[in-house]
Chain A
Amino acid sequence: MKALRLQKILFLAVLGVMTLIYIGPFLFSLSISFNADKNVFDWPIKLLPENFTLDNYKNVWKDLPFGKWLFNSVLVTTIQTFSNVFFSALAGFTFARLEFPGRKIIFTLLLSSLMIPGIILLVPKFIVLNELSMINSYGGLILPGLVGVTNIFLMKQFFETIPKDLEQAALIDGCSYFRLFWQIFLPISKPALAAVAIYTFQGAWNEFLWPVIVSYTEDMYTLPLGMASLRHELLTDWPLLMAGTILISLPTLAIFIIFQRYFVQGVASSGLKG
């Protein structure tokens, strides 16, 4: 018994240290965002600011085009999330449930595209969008992220776990394939759809690289890009930057807390058995 209790304590200690490592930087950022003092890198680190202030949060809205960046981010993220949920479910359903020539080859091709590092695709994507005159536009920001292979894969795996009998019962009841997808498969796939929505939301909301490449005027910036633009070589207003960063991480945090159950279920259902 004693040995077991000791083991338990040891596990908890390891868990505590790990949590601190992950949560430490976030707490530090939080502390800086409330600091009235611009010089925030004094050693040792003070987790509780000596001069507490909310001004940094006010200044984010006052001094920066934060509203515009927020609008851009919300627009891009919303469209990409809805589009990913719909198209990856539709494609996943097609690959999981419909028989058609070349199904396996197309899916293998699609999957193998995951092996190509995303960074290699940046230049071709840029050239294509440039030809379409979409650089520095909402179209350019949104289009490349409308559907993702990982999401298709996740939905396909989920749909494959749904018993074949259910599909056949619906066909006998009189469903077309689209109705089967829309009225039977989608409503019972909420965990997987929620997982896709959360992944996409998180990815789109935090996306930095693509907006950097595709937008060059401040009014087309998304929030992460806007925040990064506050960093200057000689002078960076760290408390302001951190206040902005904390603000932009709130929606992801809220969504994760609300949908945590679905998130975990979705990850589980992407496995073989569901």
Chain B
Amino acid sequence: MATIDIKNLKKVYPGAEDATIKQASLEIEDKEFIVLVGPSGCGKSTLLRMIAGLEDITDGELLIDGNLMNELSPKDRDIAMVFQNYALYPHMTVFENMAFGLKLRKVPKQEIKEKVENAADILGITHLLDRRPKDMSGGQRQRVAIGRSIVRQPKVFLFDEPLSNLDAALRVQMRAEIKKLHRDLNATIVYVTHDQIEAMTMGDRIVVLKDGNVMQFDTPMNLFNNPANKFVAGFIGSPSMNFIEGEIIMESFTTFKSQDLKFSAPPDLRPCLKPYIGRRVIFGFRPEYIYDKAVEKTKRLSESMEIEVQALEPIGSETFVYFHFTGNPNHQFCFRSDSGFAYNIGDKITIGVDIQRLRFFEADTEQRIM
């Protein structure tokens, strides 16, 4: 399998004013499962297509296994790609679809047959080999598309939002199957999705993109716990992180003050917040780490904050509680509570945030203060 080195990659479409990929540098290791994630228009598919050779590289270098790929056509890069809408050849049977790439590479017939049957066996589509794409369901088609990519045993697999057209249940099932396939094939995979849950559950490491820039390239847990900036903090996690813009002031201790609330920073954070006294910062706290002080006694929580419940969204195991701080009813936040606590709209609660989980960002650059 293969490493992928992306060095200062840039993409400007002809006639466009702004670059679609401004500057991307990534070092992808052998056998890694990398997920490119970001909102629509962030350039994730463009980056994938540049790796595939379907888009020209405006500037920078792309190396697969140490070899420069910039000028090579897609067929010479030893890659395979699975597309969102499957892109199966409608006039060919499943067998012919899977065998097509091998035929073009003049692989002997017997070998093609063995490889296709082997891939079909792995994916459980042996009984479909004589069918045409139009006679199959979405999930079956996607399996065939994956089968088509694995028969060639390429160095790198590229997936462009392969599960977006499937229903929710099938998506979860295919997610697990692709992960298993990754383990079985020992392959380097680059996978594009806009679904952050898909990214978190599948990727060894995740690239978060925004407006053609790499915002952070890290493991899923690091993205969640130690986001490099406000964008990543807000993008990863569902419901997303709560943010309050305010100011660091000096009272008895270093203190955060906003229209919503005021609290003194825990001792661990005081040294890094000190340079920001008198400056605007953004306080971020995840819905997962907010606790009802009347219930939670074991955790080290921040100073008490008074809130009022505005809306409730029970999802079964837990309830999303939407609230505002007593000082500012116009600004809504969220926390996840055990569904066993029967809150009602209008309830006034005292909460605290796990002090290990308080995050601060510079207001102007939105970079995390550490």
Over the window 174-189 of chain A, the binary record of Cβ atoms lying under 8 Å from chain B Cβ atoms (1 yes, 0 no) is: 1100010000100110
Q: Which residue of A lies closest to B76 (CB)?
A: A174
A230 within 8 A of B: no
Over the window 153-172 of chain A, the binary record of Cβ atoms lying under 8 Å from chain B Cβ atoms (1 yes, 0 no) is: 00000000001011011111
A168 close to B91 (CB less than 8 A): no
Over the window 264-289 of chain B, the binary record of Cβ atoms lying under 8 Å from chain A Cβ atoms (1 yes, 0 no) is: 00000000000000000000000000
A166 close to B89 (CB less than 8 A): yes
Q: Which residue of A lies closest to B82 (CB)?
A: A169
Set A169, A174, A175, A179: member contacting B87, Cβ < 8 A = A169
A165 close to B90 (CB less than 8 A): no
B74 close to A187 (CB less than 8 A): no
B81 within 8 A of A: yes
Over the window 243-254 of chain B, the binary record of Cβ atoms lying under 8 Å from chain A Cβ atoms (1 yes, 0 no) is: 000000000000
Contact flag A168-B105 (CB < 8 Å), given A163-B87, A187-B91 = no
A174 close to B54 (CB less than 8 A): no
Residues of A within 8 A of B79 (CB): 172
Contact flag A169-B83 (CB < 8 Å), given A187-B91, A188-B91 = yes
Residues of B within 8 A of A171 (CB): 54, 73-75
A172 close to B91 (CB less than 8 A): no
Give A55 to B236 CA distance when docked, in angstroms: 87
Contact flag A174-B91 (CB < 8 Å), given A165-B84, A168-B54, A169-B83 = no
B239 within 8 A of A: no
Give A168 to B91 CA distance when docked, in angstroms: 16
B85 close to A172 (CB less than 8 A): no
Residues of B within 8 A of A166 (CB): 87, 89
Contact flag A173-B101 (CB < 8 Å), given A187-B91, A188-B90 = yes
Distance in Å from the Cβ of B83 to the closest Cβ of chain A? 4
Give A171 to B73 CA distance when docked, in angstroms: 8
Question: 8 Å CB contacts to A: which residues of B56-76?
Answer: 73-75
Residues of A within 8 A of B89 (CB): 166, 169-170, 184, 188
Distance in Å from the Cβ of B191 to the closest Cβ of chain A? 16
Residues of A within 8 A of B169 (CB): none
11 A-B residue pairs with Cβ-Cβ distance under 8 Å, sorted by A, are: A163-B85, A165-B83, A168-B74, A169-B81, A169-B83, A169-B87, A170-B89, A172-B79, A173-B101, A173-B104, A174-B104
Contacts A169-B87, A173-B100 known; 17 new A-B pairs at CB < 8 A: A163-B87, A165-B83, A165-B84, A168-B49, A168-B52, A168-B54, A168-B74, A168-B87, A169-B89, A172-B52, A172-B54, A172-B74, A173-B104, A174-B101, A188-B89, A188-B90, A188-B91
Interface positions of A (Cβ within 8 A of B): 163, 165-166, 168-175, 179, 184, 187-188
Q: Which 3 A-B pairs have the closest CB atoms?
A: A174-B104, A173-B101, A165-B87
